[in-house]
Structure 1
Amino acid sequence: MSRLGKKLISLAGKKIDIKIQNGRIEVKGPKGELFIPAIKGILIKIENDRLFVLRDEQVKVHNKDYGLARALINNMIIGVSVGFEKRLKLEGVGYRAQIEGNMLDLQIGRSHPTKLLIPEGVKVTVEKGVLIVVEGISKFLVGHFAAEIRAEKKPEPYKGKGIRYEKEHVRKKAGKAAKGKTG
Structure 2
Amino acid sequence: MSRIGKKPIAIPSGVKVALTGTTISVQGPKGNLSRVLTDQVNIAVEADKVLVQPMGNGTGTALQGLTRTLVANMVEGVTKGFERVLEINGVGYRAELKGEVLNLALGYSHPVEYPLPKGISAEVEKQTKITVKGIDKELVGATAAKIRSFREPEPYKGKGIKFAGERIVRKAGKTGKK
TM-score under structure 2 length normalisation: 0.92
CA distance in 2 between counterparts of 1:47 and 1:37 reads 19
Which residue identity is paired with 2:5? G
Structure 1 unaligned regions, length at least 5: none
SS in 1 for 2:75: helix
CA distance in 2 between counterparts of 1:85 and 1:102 reads 17
Contact 1:88 1:131 in 2 (8 A): yes
Between 124-133 and 33-42, report the one with greater CA deviation. Answer: 33-42
Does residue 20 of structure 1 match 2:16?
no
Cα deviation code 1:74-97 (max 9, x no counterpart)? 110110010000000100111100
Cα deviation code 1:152-183 (max 9, x no counterpart)? 11110011010001111111111112xx85x7
Aligned counterparts, 1:43-62, within 5 A = 43-47=42-46, 49-57=48-56, 60-62=58-60
The aligned residue for residue 8 of structure 1 is 8
- Shift in Å at residue 101 of structure 1? 2.5
The aligned residue for residue 37 of structure 1 is 36
- Shift in Å at residue 103 of structure 1? 1.2
User: Which of 141, 144, 163 is residue 143 of structure 1 equivalent to?
Assistant: 141
SS in 2 for 1:39: coil
Contact 1:14 1:81 in 2 (8 A): no
Question: RMSD of the alignment, in Å?
Answer: 1.9
The aligned residue for residue 120 of structure 1 is 118
Contact 1:40 1:61 in 2 (8 A): no
Which residue identity is paired with 1:168? E
Which residue identity is paired with 1:5? G
Structure 2 unaligned regions, length at least 5: none
CA distance in 2 between counterparts of 1:130 and 1:94 reads 10
CA distance in 2 between counterparts of 1:74 and 1:114 reads 35
The aligned residue for residue 171 of structure 2 is 173
Contact 2:41 2:60 in 1 (8 A): no
- Shift in Å at residue 6 of structure 1? 1.1
Cα deviation code 1:119-170 (max 9, x no counterpart)? 0000011111110010000001100010000011111001101000111111
Aligned length: 178
Over the matched positions of the two proteins, sequence identity in percent amounts to 43
Cα deviation code 1:36-81 (max 9, x no counterpart)? 1132132223456332211234x95432221111011011011001
- Shift in Å at residue 23 of structure 1? 3.6
CA distance in 2 between counterparts of 1:38 and 1:176 reads 53
SS in 1 for 2:109: coil
Which residue identity is paired with 1:103? V
